């Protein structure tokens, strides 16, 4: 049975978006970025725009890590106002074939053929968007919102490109994010409670440099840990349990470095943290003076944290990721004076397999990076929030 899906949900006060039904399809390639982005987008469209959102996800176990409220045994469930369907791609499209007003295929995952055929039959054609991966490269603005006609059906899909510059779709940013960060930064009690919960102890002394480390396996970790250990200034390292935990265990000569583990060598004190529910990741960024982030979503969150960060970009074949790394550096480093800009580039390159990171070189520029991070968060906000940009485009097409 095929049905057109339209919601009758009330729109949030002050908007005129009631009635938009939206299906998001997400195939998890690896790690947490695919579902991390889709889950954030789904919640924003539901909570901030009043849309009726269904999220089709093929891997509930990856999803469960950042959304523990999920029941991985259930085929269909509602979490935080979003209907979640365990997607058995490629054929499955829910028990009843219902076609939404707005259909988002995330990261070029293939929609079920039966669903596409039904889209073509629908009286009012859905707005079909292919949400692409984030890239800071200049060409993105030229391709953003370009239509691509379907070879067989009277349907066109539009490419929606996240980006860091004008003319792109921007990146996701919840309306309440800045206020939540300000609350955290303003309240010593909130910060102390966070430290106790995360590490079991009080916040470190102000002279320590607090660093969060979320990264893929990386040959530069060991030399950097050595420099932190041997440095003049104390470093407190916060490491969410994951792909880099083995390297920490080897460095400290421990069998494992799982959540709750702690170790001290020289000036370096390290804590392994539990992987948190997705909203719990932001306070880690806010509690740190410097954040090592990776992939896509944590890279974006670090920018909104308005603190210095180092990006471990998702590695691609033939080093296709390196121009993307440099494109991000060009945006982020744009107004830095020459010496700190060059040091930032050296450090980011070293962290991505091009040389050995030089901590002293980076540390002496940390105040310049802190100032730049604040200014950059303001510049990035000018591009607008991705969910709002997407909703606006979809509404313009639905008229």
Catalytic amino acids? 34, 296
What value does the CA radius of gyration of the chain take, rounded to a whole number of Å?
A: 22
Comparison of 93 and 106: residue with beta carbon closer to ligand TRH: 106
Residue 30 or 110: which CB sits closer to ligand TRH?
A: 30
Residue 203 burial (CB < 10 Å; 0-12/13-18/19+)?
A: middle
The residue among 162 and 165 lying less far from ligand TRH, judged by its C-beta, is 162
Among the candidate windows 136-144, 262-270, 289-297, 367-375, which touches ligand TRH by CB under 6 A? 289-297
- Nearer to ligand TRH by C-beta: 227 or 298? 298
Shortest distance, position 53 Cβ to ligand TRH, whole Å? 17
Is residue 369 near ligand TRH by the rule CB under 6 A? no
Q: Which part of the chain contacts ligand TRH (CB under 6 A), choosing from 228-236, 273-281, 369-377, 379-387?
A: 273-281
Coil, strand or helix: which one is 173? coil
The Cα 317–Cα 390 span in angstroms is 30
The Cα angle at residue 302 between residues 57 and 141, in degrees rounded to 5: 70
Segment interacting with ligand TRH (CB under 6 A) among 24-32, 52-60, 155-163, 329-337: 24-32
- Burial code of 289-317, b = ≥16 C-beta within 10 A, e = fewer? bbbbbbbbbbbbbbbbbbbbbbbbbbeee
> What track of x and - describes contact with ligand TRH for positions 60 through 99 (by CB under 6 A)?
------x---------------------------------
- Choose among 289, 349, 342, 339: nearest CA to 313: 349
Give me the sign of the Cα torsion angle 143, 147, 152, 153.
positive
Q: Among 5, 17, 27, 32, indicate the residue that binds ligand TRH (CB under 6 A).
A: 32
User: How far does Cα 9 stand from its chain's mean position?
Assistant: 28
By the criterion CB under 6 A, which residues form the site for ligand TRH? Answer: 29-34, 36, 66, 133, 214, 240, 275-276, 278, 281, 294-298, 314
């Amino acid at each position: 049975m095929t049905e057109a899906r339209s919601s009758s949900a009330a729109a949030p006060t002050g908007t005129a978006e009631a009635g938009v039904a939206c299906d998001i399809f997400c195939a998890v390639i690896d790690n947490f970025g695919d579902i991390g982005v889709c889950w954030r987008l789904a919640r924003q469209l539901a909570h901030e725009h009043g849309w009726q959102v269904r999220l089709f996800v093929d891997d509930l176990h990856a999803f469960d890590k950042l959304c523990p409220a999920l029941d991985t045994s259930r085929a269909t469930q509602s979490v935080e106002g979003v209907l979640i369907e365990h997607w058995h791609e490629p054929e499955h499209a829910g028990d009843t074939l219902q076609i939404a007003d707005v259909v988002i295929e995330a990261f070029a995952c293939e929609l079920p053929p039966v669903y596409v055929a039904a889209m073509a039959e629908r009286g009012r054609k859905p707005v079909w968007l292919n949400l692409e991966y984030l890239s800071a490269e200049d060409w993105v603005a030229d391709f953003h919102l370009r239509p691509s006609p379907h070879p067989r059906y009277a349907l066109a899909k539009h490419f929606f490109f996240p980006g860091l510059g004008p003319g792109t779709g921007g990146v996701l940013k919840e309306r309440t994010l800045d206020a939540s960060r300000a609350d955290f930064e303003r309240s010593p009690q909130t910060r102390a409670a966070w430290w106790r919960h995360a590490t079991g102890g009080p916040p470190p002394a102000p002279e320590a440099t607090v660093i969060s480390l979320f990264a893929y396996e990386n040959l530069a970790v060991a030399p950097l840990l050595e420099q932190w250990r041997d440095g003049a200034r104390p470093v407190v390292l916060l490491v969410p349990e994951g792909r880099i935990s083995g390297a920490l265990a080897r460095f400290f000569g421990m069998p494992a470095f799982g959540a709750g583990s702690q170790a001290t060598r020289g000036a370096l004190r390290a804590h392994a943290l539990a992987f948190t529910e997705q909203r719990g990741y932001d306070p880690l960024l806010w509690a740190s003076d410097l954040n090592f982030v990776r992939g896509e979503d944590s890279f974006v969150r670090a920018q909104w944290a308005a603190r210095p960060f180092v990006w471990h970009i998702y590695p691609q074949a033939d080093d296709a990721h390196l121009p993307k790394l440099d494109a991000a550096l060009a945006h982020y480093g744009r107004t830095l004076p020459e010496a700190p800009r060059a040091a930032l580039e050296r450090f980011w390159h070293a962290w991505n397999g091009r040389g050995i990171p030089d901590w002293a070189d980076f540390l002496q520029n940390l105040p310049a990076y802190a100032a730049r991070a604040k200014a950059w968060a303001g510049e990035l906000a000018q591009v607008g929030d991705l969910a709002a940009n997407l909703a606006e485009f979809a509404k313009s097409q639905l008229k």
